[in-house]
Amino acid sequence: MAKKAVKKKPVKKVVAAKASPAKKAAAKKVATKKVVKKVVRKTPPPAAKKASETTRPAKPAGDSLGRPMVTAEEKLYFLFREDYHARQVFEFLRVETVGELERFSPQEIIHILSTPIRRTVDSIRKRLAREKRHLRDDVEFARKFRDSEPSPKPS
């Protein structure tokens, strides 16, 4: 079998028309010139407003103790596992986490813990005064209480 000879077609070269020097200079200017558009908004977009409204005001730097060593979700039972009295206070306050405990000031905790004791002592003083008795150095209270309370009716 004889191979057929394949003739290659000649490739025509396309010669671009030479641009004039003025056109070349204009093309360079356009290529090197950067167009910067500034977007000017009169009002910020609604999403940006919401983000700024929900952020907290910055705390003064003096209030920070640095990065916390425990999270707000940390259980007080584990943190104070060796301090029985502290755990009793947490149980009385009905708090379980550090975050819940942080809502109280020291004065609030003392007030909350001492209120039942004050009420109980007042109840004891009144009961003793009704029976014409008193605690040490509490005669004045007993007299005032007896005088202010209506006398019981004899049966």
Where in the sequence is the domain holding 121, given as residue range(s)? 117-150
Per the domain annotation, does 121 fall within a domain?
A: yes
**Does residue 100 belong to any structural domain of this protein?**
yes
Strand ranges, E, within 52-141: none
Q: Is residue 30 part of a domain?
A: no
Question: Closest by alpha carbon to 130, among 118, 144, 120?
Answer: 144
Number of domain units in the chain = 2
User: Is residue 126 a part of any domain in this protein?
Assistant: yes
146 domain-assigned: yes
- Do residues 80 and 93 touch, judged by C-beta distance below 8 A? no
3-state SS, residue 48: helix
- pLDDT tens per residue across all 155 residues of the chain: 566 666 666 666 665 556 566 666 666 665 555 555 666 666 666 665 555 555 655 555 567 888 888 899 999 999 999 999 999 999 999 999 999 999 999 999 999 999 999 999 999 999 999 999 999 999 999 999 999 887 666 55
Which residue, 110, 115, 75, is CA-closest to 95? 75
Output the pLDDT for position 55.
62
Give pLDDT, residue 136: 95
Q: Is residue 63 in a domain?
A: no
Residue 60 included in any domain: no
Closest CA to 123 of 143, 152, 145: 145
pLDDT of the residue at 91: 95
